[in-house]
Structure 1
Amino acid sequence: MVVNSRRQLLKQIGVASTAGIAGLAGCAGSPGDADDSGGSGDSGSGNDDDSGSSGGGSSGSDIEELTVGVFAPYTGAFAPWGESVTTGSILAKQDLEEEFGISITLKEYDTETNPSTALERMKRAVTSDGIDFAHGGISSAVCTSMGSWASDNGVSYIAQGASDSITGSACAEHMFSVYQSNTMMARSAGPRMANEADSWYILYSDYVWGQTAQKVISATLEENGASVVGSDATPFPGDDYTQYINNVQNSDADAVALLIPGLDARLATEQMMNTGLHEELTLMYHQFEDLVLWGLGKDAASAVDIGPTGWANAVEGADEFKQRVVDEGDTDPFARHYMAYTSLDQQVRAAMRAGSTAGADITTELEGHQIEGPVSDIQSGTMYWRECDHQLIQPTHVVSGLDTGEMKDDPWKEWFGVDETIAGDELARACEETGCQL
């Protein structure tokens, strides 16, 4: 019988011993409420293809149950995003359990969008709660903190941040990135940005995601013949963007790029609308996600001129998946549902192909693997896990706000249209450019 999970190993040698082997100070605790332990409870259990019947390992018949750590910001600056990670994971769990006849337990952990907090909860999830592998994160800084530790301790982790740093010099042996990188999104939007306006002002959040985005957006604009006339690093999280909006107004810029995530992007947009600036300038939202503008209304949504994104509910097909999101969750379908579904789907299928949940075995199954099966019904086009940096190469979409009269609210909010879809191979950095040493 194969010892196919870290959880089984922990049962054999004990938590304290495992923590010692990993060189850790032990992490005490047990699953509970997010307020005291970071866990939100359990969701319960219940072709080079992705059927689990081919690949480098066995058919996975020895695996009967799995425990997966789902890391999301249930509180903090990205709190509205947390539910979507849960919902996407639940939908993948349902499909995988039905297909493979296994039992999957989802254990949820609140990252609070805090790298230190997220790291401590990852340690507890592995050494005390016995998860087999993990996904989630949202914030790139959070992802890197958790993913580096998990990888060092032989645990597979799929990050859902988008900073180039995740698949750059900070890459880790058993960490993968499901979200298109900053470079992929910048290169998808750059030509359109240059066509829309000659001079740009950039507002970017002053942490790793915003910093890397600012660099690649500036370079991409210049490569396409446009100029950056000014830029400001803004605090994250922030509560007042007035001074930065004034800087934009006082510049010669024809357009503004908001490299600001989450609720901060919503706040910056609201304050910009109060000045009327959204009616004067071209607006670009980096790593655009519908949820930001859903909270401000249709007039704000219609002001979005350019938004590179990993997935949107305006992408053709996948109507069944979109309806399931509506039925299961509290938020209309957007990129994070797709990212969470894909993360769990791919890790479980890799484990089934390998007949093992060891980080090294899952890594072997994912590297170079081309995705076919349910995920390819949600995101069409060529998708594969690149071996050199563990980036998921996949299409990237550029969206813009529809006219308010064209927006739909039923069966789900569809306020944005897809203007262009670009293949991932056309956008990703060359392996030698990443700085990743895998």
Structure 2
Amino acid sequence: MPKITRRRALEGLGAAGIAGLAGCSSGPAGDGSGSEGTTTGSTGAMEITLGLFTPNSGAFAPWGPSLETGTRLAIRDLENELDVSVDLNVYDTKTDPSGALDAMKRAVTADGIDFAQGGINSSVCTKIGTWASDNNVSYIGQGASDSLRGEACQPFMYMVYQTNHMMATTIGREMADVTDRWYVLYADYVWGHNAEQVVTSAVEENGATVVGTDATPFPNDDYTQYINNVANSEADGVALLIPGPDASRAVKQMRNQGLTDVKIGAQMLEDMVFWGLDHEAAAMVDIASMGWVNTIDGVGDFNDRVAEAGELDPFVRHAKSYTSADQQIRAAVRAGSTRAEDVREELEGHEIQSAARDIHGGGEMYWRACDHELVSPVFSATARDASEMQDDPYKQWFDVTDTTPGDDVVRSCAETGCTL
């Protein structure tokens, strides 16, 4: 029998059918409502259209190219290994939930994507992931906010990045070993508030003290007043719970104000944010929790491929995009279908054994059924001395100091509030 793709089904529905799909809601998982997806037939290779949602404009635009590079590398590997052909459609989220939602609706109802991945900002992931799940479209996002796995979790939404709680717990433990008195600066929105609570708790549970905290605007250009608060406190270290380029901006301003003798801890650090600074500024970072770093043992081949294929040196978003495509496409091939309920059946409880595991250092990685989190190791890292930082053939400025199994720091299923 001929294979029926989502695109062909939509073409047959016409305008009225497309409008109906855009407004429909999913029934219980597995009831077959919503989109039909792609199923395999007797015509040869399975054909998949993957929608990638990436911030090519807006606050996270510098990250944009990495999502496409990592995804295309995974597609190349999968097409060589499996009997599958993948078309990639790329959409700009504009780092804006409303703009991203418009793109997701167009991708499903007009372009006929089979499933989706991408999105960095947690608000974007929530917006497009909720709509996708309501319309029976499988979606893997890269948001770290715990709220994505909490009461707002969705039956067909998955998150590939380690949670905020996992990152914050890891760095809080490490900070307590570095020095005894900490000042916490955190971004003034849900991600930062959650990180501050978890880090403060972990620091104090491990015998150190938080002597002060400040909620900082995000995004923010001037951290002077907050740096002054740190300098005027009794703190020996400052925790930067600030995402994106703001973290490097704060470090640069600390250095410019002469606050160079204070220890720096960073949560969910992505080394790319420091590549715009000089070596000496980046070298101020004493300890950081990271979702992935390009100095993990055994990832040299992946680094080389990223450097050759992309516009950015290898960093965490390349690895997460590769993993998202690898996992969702493999699940569809195992199921012989891209229908959201079929992909879900293949992902829940699945332990990764593919190349995606290898580029994360070989630790245990599995999709948790209760909240659709990819439980994976968290890496602790420290900046190299400025004289030892590598820039060619790609930047390597941070070294792994420890690896924490995901099960050691992930919240229990009961704690998440998710009721999948």
Alignment of 1:196-345 (within 5 A): 196-277=178-259, 279-345=260-326
2:405 aligned residue: 423
Report the CA distance shift for 1:15/1:334 in structure 2 as closer, same or farther (over 3 A).
Answer: farther
The residue number in structure 2 matching 1:351 is: 332
Cα displacement (A) at 1:101? 3.9
Cα distance in structure 2, aligned partners of 1:61 and 1:354: 17
Question: Residue type of the partner of 2:400?
Answer: V
**SS of residue in 2 equivalent to 1:305:** strand
Equivalent residue number for residue 121 of structure 2? 139
Render the CA deviation track for 1:252-271: whole Å, top value 9, x for unaligned.
Answer: 22211111111222222221
CA distance in 2 between counterparts of 1:4 and 1:197 reads 61
* Secondary structure of the structure 1 residue equivalent to 2:23: coil
Q: Distance in 2 between matches of 1:148 and 1:198?
A: 42
Q: CA deviation at 1:350?
A: 0.5
- Pair 1:216–1:9, CA change in 2 (3 A): farther
Instruction: Supply the distance in 2 between the matched residues of 1:4 and 1:180 (Cα, whole angstroms).
Output: 36
Q: 1:164 aligns with which of 141, 146, 166?
A: 146
Which string of whole-angstrom CA distances, capped at 9 and with x for unpartnered residues, describes residues 8-50 of structure 1? 43223235423324427xxxxxxxxxxxxxxxxxxxxxxxxxx
Once residues 43 and 301 of structure 2 are traced to their aligned partners in structure 1, the CA distance between those partners, rounded to angstroms, is: 29
- Does residue 12 (structure 1) correspond to residue 7 (structure 2)? The answer is no
What per-residue deviation string (whole Å, max 9, x for no partner) do you get for residues 374-431 of structure 1? 1122111111000011010111100000112222223321111100001111111111
1:201 is displaced (CA, Å) by 1.6
Q: Decide which moves more: 200-209 or 385-394.
A: 200-209
1:50 aligned partner:
none
What is the identity percentage for the equivalent residue pairs of Structure 1 and Structure 2? 55
Structure 2: 5+ residue stretches without partners: 25-38
Query: Is residue 362 from structure 1 mapped to residue 338 from structure 2 by the alignment?
Result: no
Q: Which is worse superposed, 255-264 or 244-253?
A: 244-253
SS at match of 2:233: coil
In structure 1, distance between residues paired with 2:108 and 2:40: 25
Q: Report matched runs for 1:35-184 at 5 Å.
A: 64-184=46-166
Deviation of 1:5 (Å): 4.5
TM-score, with length taken from structure 2: 0.92
Report if aligned partners of 2:172, 2:200 keep a CA contact under 8 Å in 1. no
Separation (CA, whole Å) in 2 of partners of 1:425 and 1:59: 39
In 2, the alpha carbon distance for the partners of 1:384 and 1:397 equals 17
Cα contact 2:122–2:143 (8 A) shared by 1: yes
Q: Which 10-residue stretch deviates more, 226-235 or 369-378? A: 226-235
Which one-letter code corresponds to 2:122 in the other structure? S
Structure-1-length-normalised TM-score: 0.88
CA RMSD of aligned residues (A): 2.0
